[in-house]
Amino acid sequence: MADDNERSFSAPRGTNDLLPPESWRWQATTRRAMDSFALAGYAPVETPLFEHTEVFERGVGEGSEVVGKQMYTFEDRGGRSLTLRPEGTAPVVRALLEHGLDRGPLPVKLAYASAMFRQERPQKGRFRQFFQVGIEAIGSDGPIVDAEVIEVGWRFLRDAGVEPRLLLNSIGHLDGSCRLGYLDRLRKWLEENAETLDEEDRDRFATNPLRTFDSKEPATVETMRSAPVITEHVCDSCRKHFEAVRASLDDVSVPYDIDPTLVRGLDYYTRTAFEYVADGLGAQNAVGGGGRYDGLSESLGGPPLPGIGFALGLDRILLARPASEGDDAPVQAFVVALGAEAARAAFRIVTDLRSIGIGADMDHSGRGMKGQMKGADRSGARYAVIIGDDELSAGEATIRDMTSGEQRPVPFAEIARSVGR
């Protein structure tokens, strides 16, 4: 508590310290995600943790919940308004435009694994600092690109042990004959049915009527069941685009459910919108989502540059996925050394093992055999390499298989071969 000198500090509300062994799982999952995205040609990108506030105001849109209510915005010493990034797409598009990546072959395909910041009410699976892995394909409006992006996210989640259900919708493009026409119709319908909505939702629909579909209030949820849905009102070209996206998903056997009420929270989405949901997460069951953002580049002062991407919540993936092989500490051998001479030999041995790529650690506490064996156990190592006085004079170590408990003497020169994977 920062305001109480008697007590120690704790991390700010809604943030997490990532500690071992959980941090191993976190690192392995991030790596797995980036490797899986790389297989489809998505190159890593890293943008600053904070941006000029306008990037989000203009990119994501001031009507959205994220920009309107959740941003960590501050003035720096030079009087500039900066914001900790609440999402990854607007910064990636800003960087792409700034560095002219769109002058090369399109689409530009980028992937990120980054911390995001939103001042939300913390609960299970909802934090103020959280991690997202995501991809963006920028510069093509081809429906196969939509299917590729959706499939890449779906496959990673499935391989990671999360059984995702894919929800899919088309929310049309920003044009009078398409989404804008529908919004007028929806607004009128909401006005006519305002009495049956929850009070809070009644005040909100004038600015962003679509968001009424996201309400969790029972009265509103019930009313919205009979609201006109966008899917039935999109223009011909959006309808054809959506059909083509679905055909390509069918071609690669990605199952999906059409959800005509899926509208997503950020203002920049156009056409394809999707979400991956998982069981066992309670109210916060969305593990990720994304969609097309064909107007985003122009909102940021760039040329027309259609794009699509997704962001997956790493914190929720870790809550939803079972522990699996490869998540553990990579230490393969833990050297237990009894006495100062043995400790020097142990240091030479772990250094030799590390230099040929075998994870190795040793005791630094000078405890007795029992205490050091506890350390070996905690390290997660498969083998304990034990060196006492007898072993030292014989030039060998006792290697113990930590799973089976079997022990055997091995000459120093052969330790690497005995503990190698």
Cα–Cα nearest to 276, from 163, 125, 136, 118: 163
Residue number, 64 or 231, with CB nearest to ligand AMP: 64
Task: Please choose, from the candidates 153, 187, 179, the residue with its C-alpha nearest in 3D space to the C-alpha of residue 167.
Answer: 153
**Minimum CB separation from ligand AMP for residue 14, in Å?**
8
Does 132 engage in binding with ligand AMP (CB under 6 A)? yes
Instruction: Compute how many other C-beta atoms are within 10 angstroms of the C-beta atom of residue 186.
Output: 21
Binds ligand AMP by CB under 6 A, chosen from 26, 42, 56, 127: 127
Q: Does 289 bind ligand AMP (CB under 6 A)?
A: yes
- The structure tokens listed for 319 are 């809550």
State both tokens at 378.
């905690």
Does 372 bind ligand AMP (CB under 6 A)? Our answer is: no
- Choice from 85, 109, 118, 173 touching ligand AMP (CB under 6 A): 118
Closest CB to ligand AMP among residues 88, 359:
88
CB neighbour list of residue 147: distance below 8 Å, 6 or more residues apart: 245, 248, 249, 251, 252, 254
Between 87 and 396, whose beta carbon lies closer to ligand AMP? 87
Does 311 sit near ligand AMP (CB under 6 A)?
yes
Tokens in use for 273?
Answer: 């919108």
Q: Is residue 316 close enough to count as binding ligand AMP by CB under 6 A?
A: yes
120 binds ligand AMP (CB under 6 A): yes
**Binding map of ligand AMP across residues 72-91, x = CB under 6 A, - = no contact:** ---------------x----
Task: Choose the binding region for ligand AMP from 221-229, 282-290, 349-357, 379-387 (rule: CB under 6 A).
Answer: 282-290
65 binds ligand AMP (CB under 6 A): no
Distance CA 2, CA 273 (A): 42
Tokens standing for 196?
A: 């049956």
Residue whose CB is less far from ligand AMP, 91 or 375: 91
Give least dist CB 121 to ligand AMP, A. 9
**Measured from the CB atom, is 309 or 359 closer to ligand AMP?**
309
**Which listed range, 93-101, 107-115, 292-300, 310-318, lies at the site for ligand AMP (CB under 6 A)?**
310-318
Rounded CA-CA distance 395/182 in Å is 81
Quick one: which segment of 246-254, 300-308, 309-317, 331-339 binds ligand AMP (CB under 6 A)? 309-317
CA distance linking residue 170 with residue 261, whole number of Å: 10
Residue 374: other Cβ atoms inside 10 A: 13
Residue placing its CB nearer to ligand AMP in the complex, 213 or 334:
213
User: The tokens of 286 are what?
Assistant: 């969305």
230 near ligand AMP, rule: CB under 6 A: no
Please count the residues of this chain forming the interface with ligand AMP, following the rule CB under 6 A.
17
- Contact (Cβ atoms closer than 8 angstroms) between residue 242 and residue 223: no
* C-alpha 161 chain-centroid distance: 15
Residue closer to ligand AMP (CB basis): 233 or 321: 321
Q: Which stretch binds ligand AMP (CB under 6 A): 118-126, 191-199, 319-327, 387-395?
A: 118-126
Decide: is 130 part of the binding site for ligand AMP (CB under 6 A).
yes
- Of 274 and 383, the one with the shorter C-beta distance to ligand AMP is 274
Contact 284, 126 (CB under 8 A): yes
Interface residue with ligand AMP, options 68, 106, 115, 126 (CB under 6 A): 126
Q: Which of 55, 132, 82 is nearest to 287 (CA)?
A: 132
Site for ligand AMP in 238-277 (CB under 6 A): 265
What number of other Cβ atoms are within 10 A of residue 120's Cβ? 16
Site for ligand AMP in 317-336 (CB under 6 A): none
Helices (H) and strands (E) in the chain, counts: 15, 16
Q: How far is the CB of 30 from ligand AMP (least distance, A)?
A: 14
Amino acid in the structure at residue 397? A
Residue among 366, 138, 137, 167 at smallest CA distance from 285: 167
- Please check whether residue 360 is in contact with residue 334, taking contact to mean a CB–CB distance below 8 angstroms: yes
- The distance of closest approach from Cβ of residue 125 to ligand AMP in the complex, given in angstroms and rounded to an integer, is 6
Report yes or no: 148 and 249 within 8 Å, Cβ to Cβ.
no
- Using an 8 Å Cβ cutoff, are 293 and 299 in contact? no
Nearest residue by C-beta to ligand AMP? 313
CA-to-CA distance for 116 and 131, rounded, in angstroms? 6
Q: Which CB sits closer to ligand AMP, 294 or 315?
A: 315
Residues that bind ligand AMP (CB under 6 A): 87, 118, 120, 125-127, 130, 132, 265, 286-289, 311, 313, 315-316
